[in-house]
């Protein structure tokens, strides 16, 4: 670490237009003087994210070599100060930082736990735009067995990397404001040994270029994205690209062991994305896709534009779930983790809608089947208050979906489906809370719905009334 330089008058802020990445619905982080808070203010995850600034854009220039498992490069972060700052934090776990610069001037920095504290040479004033560059390298490690979250973050595989970062694993591979309340746009320039593929979010910018046995892939995600949805999945992949019937670009990639699943992944992804756009409103991003890697994580993740399936060939219900997240979670994002049912309840309900659409089962029948089991542990876990120590509890998924079905029955299809579209339109690329959803449902239905939501989301018992 370098000693903090004396704060001096503010230099001119970095100018330039950044699209997107603005914060809305963000609860206030605690500020003290000119020191940015080490957490964004989510009570359940106090260390996650940071206060004092709003990231607009990440530019990640990284090279990865599976032979040595070494990641090296630099992250350039464009941000806007929301208070005066003589110091601020980024989240970063492990890895070695060699240099930090703020607006081109070398800055002081220190490391403690998963926090990188940066002391710019010049004080940053509230409202200023500034640019931070962090040069770093090392052997990234995922977070393992943290409470019931399994292994997540950057996982080194035999031929590359498997990167699924929900809820707070982005810090295992790049310095970030690692919380969904601060979304930003991303550019990725990822260099891997020739013969391997690097897959990130958004779309490829030009053909990959190979120089001296190394290939660089440039990907751009021009829509705001939560840090946990960013990926750099690398390795040997077979790829199929094209367009859906509605004309949306599709990118499907599978590890060679899943050769036989590529066409199904491609076809189902294209078809389901098109279908959801008729139910949930226009697809929010510029391409859709999917990745099957041969690392068995035991779960899938809705990485923006490219859900990833960890070591299994997904059946269409799971693809429908991950693609529904592109609307619910990725475009319309939570502001605090306790509202996770806004992601998982909606994506699970989407599975039921998909089953209904395919004539396999009605949402009503699925609802009744779950309701019938009075001993299900989800009845003691209120899904409207997802717990940090048991974030992905089945209740957040299934009881969350049941909440939507109870709502649908209470307000009728003629209000329920327009409500879903209004929700995705009004909050596209933004951040939301449960209270906002309840308010919109009440407004559109003209009904008082607090008792329904209270029983389904907040009580530790099975609601007495089947709506
Ligand atoms: N959002 C993912 C899904 O429902 C689950 C992510 C689980 N993450 C974890 N660290 N276990 O598809
Ligand atoms: Zn999900």
Token pair for residue 391? 């974030």
**Total residue count of the chain as it appears in this document:** 467
Minimum CA distance residue for ligand 1 atom 9: 149
Q: What is the pTM of this model?
A: 0.93
Work out the average pLDDT over 225-250. Answer: 98
Confidence label for 5 from pLDDT (cuts 50, 70 and 90): very low
The yes-or-no verdict on residue 51 having pLDDT over 60 is: yes
CA distance 237 to 125: 46
- Of the chain, the end-to-end C-alpha distance in Å amounts to 59
Distance 87 CA to ligand 1 centre (A): 33
Q: Which residue among 145, 228, 301 has the greatest number of ligand 1 atoms within 8 angstroms of its CB, and so is best to mutate?
A: 301
Q: Confirm if 312 and 296 have CB atoms less than 8 A apart.
A: yes
Ligand 1 atom at minimum distance from 167 CA? 10
Work out the average pLDDT over 297-310. Answer: 96
The yes-or-no verdict on residue 8 having pLDDT over 50 is: no
Minimum CA distance residue for ligand 1 atom 11: 149
Higher-scoring residue by pLDDT: 360, 23: 360
Distance 171 CA to ligand 2 centre (A): 21
Minimum CA distance residue for ligand 1 atom 1: 301
CB-count exposure of residue 239 (10 Å: 0-12, 13-18, 19+): middle
Residues 114-153 pLDDT 10s: 999 999 999 999 999 999 999 999 999 999 977 788 899 9
Q: Relative to the alpha carbon of 324, which ligand is closest?
A: 2
Q: Relative to the alpha carbon of 337, which ligand is closest?
A: 1
Q: Could you say which DSSP state residue 222 is in?
A: E
Q: Relative to the alpha carbon of 300, which ligand is closest?
A: 1
Q: Confirm if 54 and 22 have CB atoms less than 8 A apart.
A: yes
The DSSP annotation for 292-359 comes to EESS--SSEE--TTS-EEESS---HHHHHHHHHHHHBTTTBEESSGGGTHHHHHHHHHHHHHHHHHTT
Cβ atoms within 10 Å of 209's Cβ, excluding its own: 11
Which stretches of 66-147 are assigned E, i.e. beta strand? 70-81, 88-91, 96-102, 105-106, 108-112, 115-119, 129-138
Confidence label for 23 from pLDDT (cuts 50, 70 and 90): very low
Token pair for residue 448? 């008082």
The yes-or-no verdict on residue 291 having pLDDT over 80 is: yes
Say which residues have a Cβ less than 8 Å from residue 337's Cβ, sequence separation at least 6.
42, 44, 45, 167, 180, 386, 388, 391
Angle between the 363-372 and 341-357 helix axes, to the nearest 10 degrees? Answer: 120
Work out the average pLDDT over 84-106. Answer: 98
Minimum CA distance residue for ligand 1 atom 8: 166
Minimum CA distance residue for ligand 1 atom 10: 149
For ligand 1, residues with CB inside 6 Å are 149-150, 152, 166, 299-302, 322, 344, 392
Q: For residue 10, what pLDDT is reported? A: 30
CB-count exposure of residue 111 (10 Å: 0-12, 13-18, 19+): middle
Residues 156-185 pLDDT 10s: 999 999 999 999 999 999 999 999 999 999
The yes-or-no verdict on residue 2 having pLDDT over 60 is: no
What mean pLDDT, rounded, does the chain reach? 93
Higher-scoring residue by pLDDT: 27, 108: 108
Distance 143 CA to ligand 2 centre (A): 19
Q: Could you say which DSSP state residue 4 is in?
A: P
**Strand order across the 308-310 sheet:** 238-243, 249-254, 288-293, 308-310, 300-301
Q: Which residue among 152, 299, 311 has the greatest number of ligand 1 atoms within 8 angstroms of its CB, and so is best to mutate?
A: 299
Q: For residue 53, what pLDDT is reported? A: 97
Residues 401-423 pLDDT 10s: 999 999 999 999 999 999 999 99
Q: For residue 145, what pLDDT is reported? A: 78
The yes-or-no verdict on residue 13 having pLDDT over 80 is: no
Q: Confirm if 29 and 438 have CB atoms less than 8 A apart.
A: no
What percentage of the chain reaches a pLDDT higher than 70?
93
């Amino acid at each position: 670490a370098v000693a903090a330089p004396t704060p001096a008058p503010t230099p001119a802020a970095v100018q330039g237009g950044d699209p997107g990445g603005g914060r809305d619905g963000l609860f206030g982080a605690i500020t003290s003087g000119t020191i940015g808070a080490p957490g964004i203010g989510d009570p359940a995850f106090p260390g996650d994210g940071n206060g004092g600034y709003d990231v607009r854009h990440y530019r990640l220039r990284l090279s990865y070599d599976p032979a040595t498992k070494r990641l090296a490069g630099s992250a350039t972060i464009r941000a806007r100060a929301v208070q005066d700052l003589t110091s601020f934090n980024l989240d970063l776990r492990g890895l070695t930082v060699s240099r930090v610069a703020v607006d081109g001037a070398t800055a002081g920095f220190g490391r403690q736990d998963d926090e990188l504290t940066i002391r710019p040479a010049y004080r940053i004033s509230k409202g200023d735009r500034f640019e931070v560059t962090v040069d770093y390298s090392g052997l990234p490690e995922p977070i393992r067995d943290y409470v019931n979250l399994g292994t997540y973050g950057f996982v080194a595989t035999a031929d590359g990397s498997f990167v699924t970062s929900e809820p707070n694993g982005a810090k295992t591979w790049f310095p970030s404001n690692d919380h969904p309340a601060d979304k930003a746009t991303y550019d990725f320039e990822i260099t891997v040994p020739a013969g391997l593929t690097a897959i990130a979010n958004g779309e490829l910018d030009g053909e990959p270029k190979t120089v001296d046995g190394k290939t660089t892939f440039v990907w751009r995600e021009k829509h705001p994205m939560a840090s946990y949805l960013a990926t750099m999945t690398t390795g040997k992949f077979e790829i199929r690209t094209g367009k859906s019937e509605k004309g949306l670009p599709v990118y499907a990639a599978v590890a060679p062991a899943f050769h036989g699943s590529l066409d199904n992944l491609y076809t189902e992804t294209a078809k389901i994305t098109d279908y959801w756009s008729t139910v949930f409103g226009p697809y929010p991003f510029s391409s859709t896709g999917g990745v099957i890697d041969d690392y068995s994580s035991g779960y899938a993740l809705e990485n923006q534009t490219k859900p990833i399936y960890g070591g299994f060939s997904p059946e269409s219900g799971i693809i429908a779930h991950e693609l529904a997240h592109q609307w619910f979670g990725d475009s319309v994002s939570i502001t605090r983790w306790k509202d996770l049912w806004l992601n998982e309840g909606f994506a699970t309900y989407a599975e039921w809608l998909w089953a209904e659409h395919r004539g396999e089962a009605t949402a009503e029948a699925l609802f009744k089947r779950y309701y019938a089991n009075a001993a299900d542990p989800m009845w003691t876990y209120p899904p409207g208050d997802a717990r940090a120590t048991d974030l992905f509890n089945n209740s957040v998924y299934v009881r969350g979906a049941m909440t939507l079905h109870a709502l649908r029955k209470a307000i009728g299809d003629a209000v329920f489906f327009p409500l879903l579209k209004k929700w995705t339109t009004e909050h596209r690329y933004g951040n939301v809370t449960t209270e906002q959803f309840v308010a919109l449902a009440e407004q559109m239905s003209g009904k008082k719905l607090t008792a329904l939501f209270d029983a389904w989301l907040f009580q530790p018992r099975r609601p007495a009334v089947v709506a």
